[in-house]
Every structure is written in structure tokens, then in C-alpha cells.
Structure 1
Amino acid sequence: MRIIIVGCGKVGSALAEHLSSEGHDLTLIDLSERRLEDLTTSLDVASVKGSGTSYHVLQSAGIEDCDLLIAVTAHDEINLLSCLIARKASGCHTIARVRDPEYVSEVGFIRDELGLSMVINPELSTARVVSRLIRFPSAIGVSTFAKGRIELLDIRLPSGSRLAGMPVCEINVSLHTHVLLCMVRRAGTTFIPKGDFILQAGDDITIIIPPNEQVYFFEKIGVPHSHIGSAMLVGGGKISFFLAGILLNSGISVKIIENRLDRCEMLSELLPGATIIHGDGTDRDLLDEEGLATCGAFIALTGMDEENILLALHAGRHSKAKLFTKINRVNFEEVIESLPIGAIIRPKQTTADLISQYTRAMQNSMGSNVETLHELRGAEALEFRVAAHDLTGVPLQDMPIRPDVLLCCINRRGKRIIPRGQDILQEGDTVIVVSTREGMNDLQDIFLPRETEEQRP
């Protein structure tokens, strides 16, 4: 597709790298010539220096032939105006980043009245990701599908876990559960495991499990599971504001430590149910005084990655809290992921996931749209809507599904089905697929090509 990105800051740069890697034809617009030079040097993209609110600049970028315009500058109003002008100029699809909390309650109205395809608030989306992880304190990652009715949980197997040394095919028989193990990550490699795959301590596994079996399963495999009743947030930015509101509504007590007095005063007015502390979050004595040792969740959300990492390391040594660490940069990713800093929160990745989900849906060829997309380490988890197709009604065991693909759940009118060989797909179902093969746009992509299928013995 031909895509124009307006704004080449952190989010715009990340999107350019992500969408360029998927083969899209990109043109970047920014007021900074240096930013444009950096990206055009490293990526195969075109660029235009100027404002995305200028019709002439948009013309120079090829707006008449554009399929999608994404506006992600630091200013909400510029993003909205860029999208509005693009819609009038070419009728293309438009996505705007809107970050101001004052607009949150008006997002639906803004999107509909301006004719936008999507409005994204990265901080609100990130806060929702963290809140889901707090609901599942045993998980290091949660991916939601079917409008929140189905969750894929990522768990790290501890030393001495009952699952260590056990083949995948024996899990449910041995533990008397109904768990589906979808994926295993080990030493930087991602596997779609077969029944004879042997699990090891330290593996990161992705599972689907019935809600009523979760506590029992976690206890059996040696993963602690306890309700989180309190959270300490260091940094009072937009993510903290949105997250605190979600947690307070869930009955979790919230304490925010922020070093800017004016921000503390604003948060006190907007979040009367939270405790707002004016102070330096890196002050060890302050953390101890405010109850670090007894908090259920510790979330490092300052504007500096290094500071967040040090805070999480300190909290891990002096508390039993579930740890969350916000990381913006991807440098030294393997080193960062090996540190005991809990769940790593990447706002840019959350935004890229949402936009990739939309671009994949625009590209589909047979009508089986990508409904939901989650980028996992070394894999993707996608939700497709099933359209009429010659394979609907065919038992799964007779379908030519690729070996690097696992069809792990069917959502049929709100009913969750863990698929077996005799199950079939029906029009209107949504199916959740996990694969180490990236770039799938359509349900058709999970099947072997017909010539390959014909060559199979």
C-alpha cells in the first residue's frame, strides 16, 4: 500500500521501520530535515519537508494516490487537521494520534465527525496493557482477543516447575486441565510445539486456559498467583494518569510519585482517589517510606529508560511486587529482556501493533480480515474473521494448515472453542492463530499453497 506518515518523532520513526519492513510504499513528512535524512538513509522511503497541514506538501507527498495517511506529530490538532485535509483531498483512510486526556471521552465523536478510520491514544492503550497484566499477576504478557473474551497468557516456567521435563502432550493428562500450549520461547528461539516437545525450566510459554482453571494451574506448575491490591507508580505522565484511573475503578489502591509540583497538583485534582506524592522516585528512603516493601505492583514510568530499569531492579530486591518497566528505545533489547525487571512496557510497540492490525485488514483478499494483531517475540498472534470459503465446514484435521501455524481458538457467537481435529470453521467465526511466520494478512495465509499441498505424501 501507499502510506504517508506525518511526524517522524519516536512513534513515527518506529512506524516507518515497521511498515517499511512489511513492504509498504512509504512517504514521510516532517518539519525536521535531520529526522528525514536519518530515516531515508536507513530505510527505503521517500520524504517531503514541511507541515502535514499544508495541502501543497500533501500533494508533493502524493496524497492523490495514497491509500492511508497516519498523523503522529506531537500535536493532536495538527494530526486531526492533517487527516481532515487528506480525507478531503483524496478520500484515503486516515489514522490520527490523539494524546490529550481531555479528548478521551470525545474520541468516538471526533472519529465519526471527521471521517477518520482510527484514533489512537498510545498512552491509554499502554495503560490498558498494564492493567490486564495486573489482573493476571502470574503472567509476564497478556494478549486479548474476541473483544476481551479470550486471553493468551505468557508465563515463565520457574526452576523446579512440575512442567520441566514434561512433553506437551502430557500436560492436561497429568494436571487434569484443559490448557492449550500455543508457543514456547527458549534461548531466543520461538517454537510452535508439537506433542512430543519437552518443556524446560526458564521457558516462556504462551497458553490459553479456561478462567476457572487458572489459579489451580498456576499452583500446580509452581507459579505464584495472588490478587494485587495496591500499586506504586513512579512518574506522573499520561500513562500513569490513565493507568491510575483504570486501577482505581478496579478497586486497587494507587500511589503516584512525581517530582514536578505542578503535575502533582493536576493529578490530585483529576485523581482524587489516588495518593499523589511530590518527590524524587529514585530516592530510596522515599520509596521505603511510601511502602515499597508491601506494594503489590511497582510500575516504573519515568521518561528515562535507564532510570526505569534501575528502579525496577531496586524494587525487585526490596519487595515482592510484580514489576513493570517502561522502555522506549530498543537498543540492547536482548540484554534488557534478560534483566529481572518484570514485564517490559513498550508504548511504541503498542501503537505499531494497532496500526499493523488496521493495515493488514485493508490488504485482505478474501474478506477474512485481521480483527486483532499482537506482535510477539519471534511470532505473531492474529485473530481473523471467517468469511464464506471453500474450507468452511471442512474438519480441521483435513485442512492443509502450515506446519508453522497453530489454530488455537475459535470464537463462535461468544462461545470459546479449543479446536480439535473434528471441529470445523463456520462463516462469522473468529479464529485465533499463532505463527512464527510473520506478515500474514488473510486467513488464506495459514494454509499451504495448493501446489505444496498436492506434493505432500
Structure 2
Amino acid sequence: MRIIIVGCGKVGRTLTEQLSDENHDVTVVDTNPQVVQDVTNNFDVMGVVGNGASYLVQMDAGVEDADLLISVTASDELNLLCCLFAKKAGNCKTIARVRNPLYSHEVNFIKKELGLSMIINPEYAAATEIARILRFPSAIKIDTFAKGRVELMKSIIDQNSPLCGESLSNVAKKIKADVLVCAVERGKDVVIPNGDFVFEENDVISIVASPTEARDFFKQTGVETHQVKNALIVGGGTIAYYLAEQLLNMGIRVKIIEKDYKRCETLSELLPSAMIIHGDAANQDVLFEEGIEHCEAFVSLTGIDEENIFLSLFAQQSSKAKIITKINRITFDEIINNFHLGSLIYPKYITSEYILQYIRAMQNSLGSNIETLYRIIENKVEALEFHIGEDVMIPDETLENLPIKKNILIAAINHNGKTIRPNGHSKIHAGDNVIVVTTLKGLQDIDDIFEK
């Protein structure tokens, strides 16, 4: 596909890297010549220097022949204007990043009136992911499929876990819960386990199950399954606002520490049920005064990655709280993972997942749309949800008789609203939602899981 990306910030650069890896014809547009040169030097893409909202600049970028324009500049209004021009100049699909809470209740109106294909709000998406984790704090990541009927949860095996030293086949016999362990991270290695796989301390397991079965599984392995009662948030930016709003609606008490006094006043007006504290959380006395030792969740959301990391390390040392750390820029993933900072939230990756999901759905031609896409282990493992349309020709065979490629696992089938953990005798029917976990990249259609 021919794709134009306007804006080469964190999200734009991440999208450029992932879309060029998937062999799309990408052109980037930015007003900063050095940024454009840096991106074109590092990735196999074309670059245009200029204002993406200019008709002439869009023509230089090839908007007339483009299939999709994605605008992710720092300005919501500029993103909307870029998309509006692209619709008129090239009649291509358009995606805009819109972040301001002012527009959060007007998204559907804006999308309809401007003819946008998609509006993405990275801060709201990140806040939703954090809220989902705090509902089940023993997990370090939770993704949902089939409109919430199926969950994919990641959790770390500690030294006291009954899973330690047990093979997957033995675990299946001892623990009566209908779950599927679909991936295990051990250091740098990622394994899609078979029955002989033996779990070890510090393994990160990913399981697929219905919410009820997932809770049964964790209860039987001695893991707490209740949501937190209170949360201490450091940093009062847009993510903090969206997160506090969701947590308050869940009945969770919220305290926000913010060092900018005017922002504190704004948050007090927007969130009358939350406690807003004017102070610098980099001062440990402030954290102790605000009860870090007794909080059940600690979320570091400042604009500086290094500060978030140090705050989370301090919270880890000072409390038993569930730790969530926002990372924007730092790319030293191996070092960060060694710190064991709890759940890591990367807004730029969350945004790119949503957009990649839309792009792959655009590409498919067989009627089995990608409903959901998650990169569950960096760029090593993907989990995809396919909706099987009525016109899709799936052989009337059991899974054991289908020519499914290696490194592909059928993790779950949602059939008539019921979640099925498939075995060799299961079948795929029209109308089903099929969840696939794979180390292969670029799957666009359910047909791609089969050997040709």
C-alpha cells in the first residue's frame, strides 16, 4: 500500500519503522529537514520537507496515488486539516491523532463530518490499558478480544508459584481451569510451549481465556485477583486525567501529585472526586507524606522517562504497590526489563497497534477482517483476532486436519458468544472470531495461517 505519514515524532517514527518492515510504500512529511533526513536514512522510505496541511506538499508526497494518509503531528487541529485536504486532493483513507480532552466527547461527530476513517487518541488508549491492569493487578498486561469475552494476560512466575518446576502437561492436570498458555518469555527467548515445557522462576507467561477462567487459573496458582482500592498517580498530564476519570468510575480512590500549580487547579475542576496534591514527587518526603507506603497502585506518568523509572524504583522499594511505568522515548528495553518496573506502558506502541490493525484490515480481500491486533512480546509475537465472514471459504475439517503453518497457535474461538479453547477436533465456522498467536509477521487474513 502507498501510505503518507505526516509528522515524524515518536508515534510517526514508530509507524514508519513498522510499516516499512511490512513492505509498504511509505512517504514521510515533516517541517524539520533534519528529522526527515534522519528517518529516510534509517528506513527505506521517501521524505518530503514541508507543512503536511499544504495542498502542494501533499501533492509532492503523492497524495493522488496514496491509499492512506496518517497525520500524527503535535497539533490536533493540524492533523484534522491534513486529513481534510487529503480527502479532497486524493480521496484516500485518512487517520488523525486527536489528543485534546476537549474533543473526547466529539470524536464520532468529527469522524463523520470530516469523513475520517479513524481517530486515535494515544493518551486515552494508554489510560484504558492502565485501568484494565489495575482491575487485575497481578497481571502485567491485559489485552481483550471478542468485545471483552476473551482476555490475554501476561504474568510473572515468582519463586513461590506452584508452576515453578512443573511441566505444562502436569499443570493442565493439576489446575482445573480452561486456559491456554500461548507464549513464555525467558530472558531474550520467546517460546510457544508444548506439553513438555517446564516453567521456571521469572518466566513471563501469556495466557488466553475468558475473564472468569483466567481468574480461576490465577486463584489456583495463589495469585491475588481483586482490583486495587486506591491509586497514587505522579504527573497530572492528559493520560493522568483520562486514567483518573476511569478509575473513579471503577470505585478506586485517586490521588494525583503534580508540580505545576495551574495544572493542579485545572485538574481540581475536572476531577472533583480526586485528591489533587501540588508538590514535586522527586522529593521523597512528598511521597511519604502522601502515603506511598500504603498505596495499592503507583503510576508514574511524568513527561520524563528517567524520572518515571526512578520514581517506580523508589515505590518498589517503599511499598507493596502495583507499579506501572510510562515510557515514551527510551529504547534500552533489555536494561529497563532488568529493573522489574511492573507494567510498562508505551503510548506510541499502543497507537501503532491500532493503526496497523486498521491497515491490515484494509488489505485483506477474503472477508475475514482483523478485529484486533496486539504485539504481545515487543516485535516477536503477535496476537490477532479474525472475524470469519459468511463468504469465507474455510474447509469443513477439524483443526488437526488443516494445513496450519508452523509457529501459529489457534488460541481461542468465540462461537455464538461462547469462548472455546480449541483442540484438534475443533472446527472454524462462518461468524466465528478466531484468536491466533504467532511469531510470524504480517498476517492479514485467516487464509494466511494455512500452508498453500
Same fold (TM over 0.5): yes
1:423 pairs with 2:412: no
Offset, 1:211: 3.2
Matched, 1:257 2:257: yes
Give 1:330 shift: 4.0
The answer to whether the aligner puts 1:212 opposite 2:215 as a matched pair is no
What does the per-residue CA deviation read over 1:92-111, in whole Å, with 9 as the maximum and x for residues that have no partner? 11000001101000001100
Select between 169-178 and 44-53 the one with higher mean Cα deviation: 169-178
Tell me, in whole angstroms, the C-alpha distance in 2 between the residues paired with 1:155 and 1:40.
Answer: 38
* SS of alignment partner, residue 104 of structure 2: helix
| 1:447 matched to 2:441 | no
Q: Return 382-391 or 53-62, whichever deviates more.
A: 382-391
| Paired residue secondary structure (2:196) | coil
Q: How does 1:83-162 map to 2 (within 5 A)?
A: 83-162=83-162
Alpha-carbon offset, residue 216 of structure 1: 4.2
Q: 1 CA distance for matches of 2:24 and 2:60?
A: 18
Residue 225 (structure 1) shift: 3.5
- Tell me the alpha carbon deviations over residues 176-202 of structure 1, each in whole angstroms, 9 at most, x when there is no partner: 222211111112111111122222121
Q: How does 1:23-422 map to 2 (within 5 A)?
A: 23-377=23-377, 378-387=380-389, 388-422=391-425
Q: Residues 76-129 of structure 1, C-alpha deviation per residue, up to 9 Å, x if partnerless?
A: 111001101101112111000001101000001100111100000000000001
Distance 2:227 2:4 in 1: 45
Cα-Cα RMSD = 1.3
Tell me by how many angstroms 1:41 deviates.
Answer: 1.1
Distance 1:277 1:394 in 2: 61
Three-state SS of the structure 2 residue aligned to 1:86 is: helix
Following the alignment from structure 2 to structure 1, what is the Cα–Cα distance between the partners of residues 49 and 322? 45
> Aligned equivalents of 1:95 and 1:339: distance in 2?
36
Q: 1:308 Cα shift?
A: 0.3
Question: Does the Cα contact within 8 Å between 1:383 and 1:433 map onto a contact in 2?
Answer: yes
How many pairs were matched up? 449
Measure how far apart 1:221 and its partner are. Answer: 2.2
% identical equivalent positions: 50
Give, in angstroms, the shift of residue 213 of structure 1.
4.2
- For the residue of structure 2 that corresponds to 1:293, the secondary structure is coil
> What letter matches 1:407 in structure 2?
I
Q: Report SS of the residue matched to 1:277.
A: strand
TM-score with structure 2 length normalisation?
0.97
Secondary structure of residue in 2 paired with 1:159: coil
For 2:291, give the aligned amino acid: G
Deviation of the 1:364 alpha carbon? 1.1
Report SS of the residue matched to 1:29: strand
| Rounded Cα–Cα distance in structure 2 between residues aligned with 1:90 and 1:125 | 29
Q: What CA deviation, in whole Å up to 9, does each residue of 1:23-78 have, x standing for no partner?
A: 11111111111111111111111111111111111101000100000001111111
Distance 1:214 1:368 in 2: 27
Give the Cα–Cα distance (whole angstroms) in 2 for the partners of residues 415 and 176 of structure 1. Answer: 19
Range with greater deviation from structure 2 (400-409 or 211-220): 211-220
* Change over 3 Å in CA distance of 1:210–1:172 after alignment to 2: farther
Query: What displacement does 1:385 show?
Result: 1.1
Cα pair 2:177 2:213 within 8 Å, conserved:
yes
Query: Corresponding residue for 1:455?
Result: none
Q: CA 1:215/1:374 → structure 2, altered by over 3 Å: closer, same or farther?
A: closer
Tell me whether 269-278 or 422-431 shows the greater mean CA deviation: 422-431
Q: CA deviation at 1:392?
A: 4.4
AA aligned opposite 1:436: T
In structure 2, stretches of 5+ residues that fail to align are: none
TM-score by length of 1: 0.96
Report the alpha carbon displacement of residue 301 of structure 1 after superposing the two structures with TM.
0.3
SS at match of 2:103: helix
- Partner-residue secondary structure (3-state), 1:373: strand
Confirm or deny: 8 A CA contact 2:367 2:392 kept in the other structure.
no
Match of residue 453 from structure 1: none
Q: Give the partner amino acid of 1:429.
A: D
Cα deviation, 1:148-199, whole Å, max 9, x if unaligned, reads 2211010111113211222212223212222211111112111111122222
AA paired with 1:439? G
User: Residue in 2 aligned with 1:436?
Assistant: 439
Gaps of 5+ in 1: 450-457
Return the offset for 1:209: 3.3
Alignment CA distance shift 1:292-1:91 (3 Å): same
- Distance in 2 (alpha carbons) for counterparts of 1:46 and 1:315: 45
Q: Name whichever of 414-423 and 230-239 sits farther off.
A: 414-423
Task: Select between 268-277 and 42-51 the one with higher mean Cα deviation.
Answer: 42-51
Question: d(CA) in 1 for partners of 2:98 and 2:253?
Answer: 28
Give the deviation of 1:215 after TM superposition.
4.3
Q: Quick one: which amino acid aligns to residue 252 of structure 1?
A: I
Q: CA 1:270/1:69 → structure 2, altered by over 3 Å: closer, same or farther?
A: same
Find the aligned partners of 2:421 and 2:217 in 1 and give their Cα distance: 17
